[in-house]
Copies of this chain bind each other. A is one copy, B any other.
Amino acid sequence: MSPVDSPDLHDDLGWSLGVLLRSYRDRVTAALGEFPHGTRGYEALAAVLRGGHDSQLSLAGHLGIDRTVMTYLVDDLEAEGLVERKPNPADRRQRQIVVTDRGRALLESACDRVVAAQDEVLGALAAPERAALRSLLNKAATATGDDESREAAGAGTGLSS
């Protein structure tokens, strides 16, 4: 089989993901306006509000960033009064990130615009197709994320690279 006939050349997964992620970042960043750290800050705040992350390291793993980057990110979110660092009584090495009322309000006000921007990203797809795509993406990404979490638990952070 010649390379030109190969499926990955005609249906390039990396290219599709890259194009869509770029479109997502451009549109959602514009929709967010002044939001600190743009889409990353938004996703961090949303993940904290969703719960399940009892340390900065856990949150960093979820977002796929290094713990050193997480420090700067939380610094800036805290400086804007959107989150607070609370020491975890169960393990005083950890800091629990909690969303302030101001952070919650900002997230709420941004929410509708973000959803609209996301729909623009998938503008070529009909509503049922969008739902199917989001569901499949979520399923594939969640499994991958779990893999990474397991690796992270085993050796180092499992991040970066």
Total chain A interface residues with beta-carbon distance under 8 A = 64
Name the contact of A133 in the complex, choosing from B4, B133, B142 (C-beta under 8 A). Answer: B133
Q: Is the interface of A mostly helix, strand, loop or mixed?
A: helix
* Interface assignment of A28: CB less than 8 Å from any CB of chain B: yes
Interchain nearest-CB distance for A102 vs B (Å)? 13
Question: Considering only CB atoms, which chain B residue lies closest to A139 in the complex?
Answer: B124
Is B129 a contact of A3 with CB atoms below 8 Å? no
- What residues of chain B lie closer than 8 Å to A13, measured between beta carbons? 24, 118, 121-122, 134, 137
Question: Considering only CB atoms, which chain B residue lies closest to A9 in the complex?
Answer: B46
Q: Which of A68-76, A82-90, A107-115 contacts B (4 or more CB under 8 A)?
A: A107-115
Residues of A at under 8 Å CB distance from B? 1-4, 6-26, 28, 39, 43, 46-47, 49-50, 62-64, 104, 107-108, 111, 114-115, 118, 121-125, 129, 132-145, 148, 161
Q: Report 30 cross-chain contacts, Cβ distance below 8 Å, ordered by A residue.
A: A2-B108, A6-B111, A7-B115, A8-B46, A8-B114, A8-B115, A9-B46, A9-B49, A9-B111, A12-B138, A13-B134, A13-B137, A14-B43, A14-B118, A15-B43, A15-B62, A15-B141, A16-B134, A17-B17, A17-B21, A17-B24, A19-B144, A21-B21, A121-B144, A123-B144, A124-B140, A125-B139, A125-B140, A133-B137, A136-B136
